[in-house]
Structure 1
Amino acid sequence: MVNPLLNVLRRALLGALRARDWQRARSAPPPSDRQIRILLLHANGMGGTIRTVFNLAGHLARTHDVEVVSVVRNRENPFFPVPPGVRIRYLDDRVAGRKGFLSRLPALLVPRDEAAYKWFTLETEIKLIRYIRSRREGVLISTRPALNLLTALFAPPEVVTVGQEHLNLASHQRPVRRQIVRRYGRLDALVTLTETDLAAYDAALLARPRVLTRMPNAVTRLNGGISPLTGKTAITVGRLTHAKGHDLLIRAWVHVAARHPDWTMRIFGSGRKRDKLRAAIDEHGLAGKVVLEGAATDVGAEMAKASMFVLSSRLEGLPMVLLEAMSKGLPIVSFDCPTGPAELITNGHDGLVVDMGDVEALADAICTVIEDQSLRHTLASHAVKTAAGYDMEIIGKRWEDLIASLVQPR
């Protein structure tokens, strides 16, 4: 009887909130973009979403009051530099550990199948909902399904809401997708990273937000110069998880090492798969040929030392690491995983794209770039131009235009 009772209570709560919001909407002031708040799961982490959000926040802070709101705080200080003019607020500070009865209870509204569910307790959920309800003006940008769904449910009518999809619709578990399809229409805008995902959302949503659009992330400007392409090393950067496919890359490098034993694959990143990947390297006799470097403190400088970037992911949103590598003049070899690589890379022009999961094709493409120096330099030259199209000045202007359109009277 617990679940039916909870469902009744949820419906009653949401019904009361909608009635209250209807009253608030009648006397709400005109929408404003003076204040922009961006919800992140954990702003002090080291993921790609965090880096791109900081990048966007720094651009918007030139002309707006910008605050990044971190739902949880799991380490003392941010891993990435906080841009000038950007503040960080923490809702559930866990640096000293979780405290209180509510912190030991599970969340009730965040879907259990959402990848971020493990981060939420009932206390976390309550603090986040209180924050969302406390807003009285401005723009609230949320950055993953758990945050998008709670924003859609609880944001008051005075606030303009923008949901971001940093992966793709198909990557989410079925129960999460069911809630997305029902609730995302309550957002003012939903932003996808790719045209492929935009079409998927357009077909799936029961109700459309006011604006449904594609907005790629801007490439982060990194340290280091353009690679001279003289080192006999390839590089990849990403968390050591199943989704990133480093196990497939190791299998591909067996073939590469047989043809080019003087080349090295450097893998930068940390994660729970490290021990299994190290075992796979040893099993295939690739010690010293495939190197687990750990997390990179200066990604740009490491990329500038390499002569190729390889992406072996099983799935992505819009892999910003590809654009970062392109900005360093690296030719790209990538699986055609869902989604992103095929929209960033023009096959044979600025990189090589092979069928998802085809390990031998990945190895052959890597060897082609190794063996054809002219092709390597041509791909690299075009890659720099491709990355330039994703500069923050260009993408930032698109964000400014989107926000300006959303604060027009509804």
Structure 2
Amino acid sequence: MAVPSLHRRAARKAARAVVRALEARDRQRARSAPPPDGHEIRILLLHANGMGGTIRTVFNLAGQLARTHDVEIVSVVREREEPFFQVPPGVRVRYLDDRLPRRKGLLSRFPSRLVPKGEAAYHWFTLRTDLKLVRYIRSRRGGVLIGTRPGLNLIAARFAPPEIITVAQEHGNLSSHQPAVRRQIIRRYGRHDAVVTLTQADLRAYERSFEKARVDRPAVLAQVPNATPRLNGGLSPLTAKTVVTVGRLTWGKGYDLLIRAWAHVAARYPDWTLRIYGGGPRQEKLQASIDKRGLCERVFLEGPAEDVGAVLADASMFVLSSRHEGMPMAILEAMSKGVPVVSYDCPTGPKEMISHGHDGLLVKPEKIHAMADAICTLIEDEDLRRRMGANALKTAARHDLDVVGALWEDLLSGLVARRRALPPGAPLAYRPDGASEDDLQRHGHMKMPPETSTR
């Protein structure tokens, strides 16, 4: 028993020595670093060639920023030959751990030592990805680095050199992470220049958590929503007896709840169908649920949608049955086609996107009968469906890509200006001691306290 203990102590001692060496190196780099510059933007993404809302959102943002910046998406892994979504013009994609050759190497056999086990994507990370990520981050000599999930943000917080402006973007919400992950987030995110949430509700959750923990917090906490993507096809005529939903077939998306609700809808309106677009690990279980309830001719698992715009243009209603979300882009996609939305009022996002009774209907989370009744309400009342569809178009316009892109430009230019105002090697975050709400300066969606502490 003593030998493993000695090994662990030796490993911890070696790790502390490495950290001290990096800190000493960073102090030297900080003294000789050039003025901060936001022209180069690098966005860390888990797997750029996959499918899902986060990837679509990142591609949209990258394309918008590429109009005025040098933008590269840095994909941690590559397990698919080509991207599922079209890479925007002016955007490059770099892969750190290319797994297509199927020769992963010795280091790929060991789990990550830098990503907490409770992170939802922990199984994607290995010791090889740890080293590839750290090597890439340490190689940067300027610009902005944006992380898009906790594992990536935590590594960037620990290893980003002082020349780099780092932004931790939250695509889910704080409460959806495991407790151990949340503890690391609150402990380490103060090293970032900014933390960006999708919703005001999540922004307040971060503020409360930093305040309660009495730890360093980022100098900037900001809320920037998702943008409405520009899709193919025209508006929906709202005449098809079709309800659609789009998303990964995972537990969090709540399609098991939706199928149960549809059993009640089908009993009242057997000529309407539900089409679920997406792939994922729960496909067999969902199909079994459909078969069990005799819904084979009423509910269809369609697989991934190659053209989301065309799918939505052929629908008369969109349903979101998620147990939790960040800010679901699928709602904005549906609204941009003039399609009204029925959604569970899950944390977070739907309540800030849907005005109940105006452009959609909100339903108490995970309530089967309430979801069925809301769907039937829009099936029964075509005039209401059309009014909500028209209002949904106006809601989507408020999240236009140009509008959201301007928020990001404003945020990034503010971070660069703030960094340039600091002396070399000055701290980035601020400590809560002595700071009050009166000390906070508001700038758009941002909260920017003037005091600072160490990265």
Q: TM-score, normalised by structure 1?
A: 0.98
Match of 2:200 among 195, 199, 204: 195
Deviations 1:102-124 (A, max 9, x none): 12111111111111111111111
Match of 2:326 among 294, 317, 322: 317
- Secondary structure at the aligned position of 1:147 is classed as helix
Distance 1:170 1:3, change over 3 A: farther
Q: Which amino acid aligns with 1:378?
A: R
Number of residue pairs matched?
410
Match of 1:154 among 159, 173, 189: 159
Matched, 1:164 2:169: yes
Cα deviation, residue 5, structure 1? 4.2
2:41: which partner in 1? 36
Whole-Å separation in 2 of the counterparts to 1:125 and 1:98: 17
Q: Which amino acid aligns with 1:14?
A: V
2:179: which partner in 1? 174
Whole-Å separation in 2 of the counterparts to 1:393 and 1:305: 26
8 A contact 1:14–1:153 mirrored in 2: no
Whole-Å separation in 1 of the counterparts to 2:103 and 2:117: 20
Deviations 1:304-323 (A, max 9, x none): 00100000001100000000
Cα deviation, residue 8, structure 1? 3.5
1:130: which partner in 2? 135
Distance 1:6 1:338, change over 3 A: farther
Match of 2:190 among 185, 191, 195: 185
Whole-Å separation in 1 of the counterparts to 2:167 and 2:15: 24
Q: Which amino acid aligns with 1:374?
A: D
Which moved further from structure 2: 153-162 or 105-114?
Answer: 105-114
Whole-Å separation in 2 of the counterparts to 1:284 and 1:197: 37
Cα deviation, residue 272, structure 1? 1.1
Cα deviation, residue 71, structure 1? 0.6
Match of 1:332 among 322, 330, 341: 341
Q: Which amino acid aligns with 1:266?
A: R
1:342: which partner in 2? 351
Match of 2:227 among 218, 223, 243: 218
Q: Which amino acid aligns with 1:314?
A: R
Cα deviation, residue 12, structure 1? 2.9
2:74: which partner in 1? 69
1:145: which partner in 2? 150
Deviations 1:288-330 (A, max 9, x none): 1011111111111011001000000011000000000000111
Matched, 1:11 2:20: no
2:435: which partner in 1? none
2:104: which partner in 1? 99
- Secondary structure at the aligned position of 2:343 is classed as strand
Whole-Å separation in 1 of the counterparts to 2:183 and 2:12: 16
Q: Which amino acid aligns with 1:262?
A: D
- Secondary structure at the aligned position of 2:166 is classed as strand
Distance 1:340 1:6, change over 3 A: farther
Deviations 1:344-368 (A, max 9, x none): 0010010000100111000000000
8 A contact 1:71–1:124 mirrored in 2: yes
Whole-Å separation in 1 of the counterparts to 2:327 and 2:11: 37
Deviations 1:199-218 (A, max 9, x none): 11111122221210101111
Matched, 1:20 2:25: yes
Which moved further from structure 2: 267-276 or 9-18?
Answer: 9-18
Which moved further from structure 2: 111-120 or 12-21?
Answer: 12-21
8 A contact 1:336–1:354 mirrored in 2: yes
Which moved further from structure 2: 53-62 or 100-109?
Answer: 100-109
Q: Superposition pairs for residues 269-348 of structure 1, below 5 Å?
A: 269-348=278-357
Match of 1:381 among 371, 390, 400: 390
Cα deviation, residue 338, structure 1? 0.8
Q: Which amino acid aligns with 1:58?
A: G
Matched, 1:265 2:274: yes
Whole-Å separation in 2 of the counterparts to 1:209 and 1:292: 43
Q: TM-score, normalised by structure 2?
A: 0.89
8 A contact 1:231–1:305 mirrored in 2: yes
8 A contact 1:166–1:193 mirrored in 2: yes
Root-mean-square deviation (Å): 1.0
Unaligned runs of 5+ in 1: none
1:363: which partner in 2? 372
Whole-Å separation in 2 of the counterparts to 1:211 and 1:64: 21
Match of 2:403 among 374, 394, 406: 394
Cα deviation, residue 146, structure 1? 0.5
Whole-Å separation in 2 of the counterparts to 1:87 and 1:52: 16
Q: Which amino acid aligns with 2:14?
A: L
Whole-Å separation in 1 of the counterparts to 2:298 and 2:14: 58
Whole-Å separation in 1 of the counterparts to 2:251 and 2:124: 19
Percent of aligned positions that are identical: 65
2:236: which partner in 1? 227
Whole-Å separation in 2 of the counterparts to 1:264 and 1:46: 25
Matched, 1:253 2:262: yes
Deviations 1:165-184 (A, max 9, x none): 00001111111111101000
Q: Which amino acid aligns with 1:201?
A: Y
8 A contact 1:313–1:335 mirrored in 2: yes
Whole-Å separation in 2 of the counterparts to 1:292 and 1:227: 21
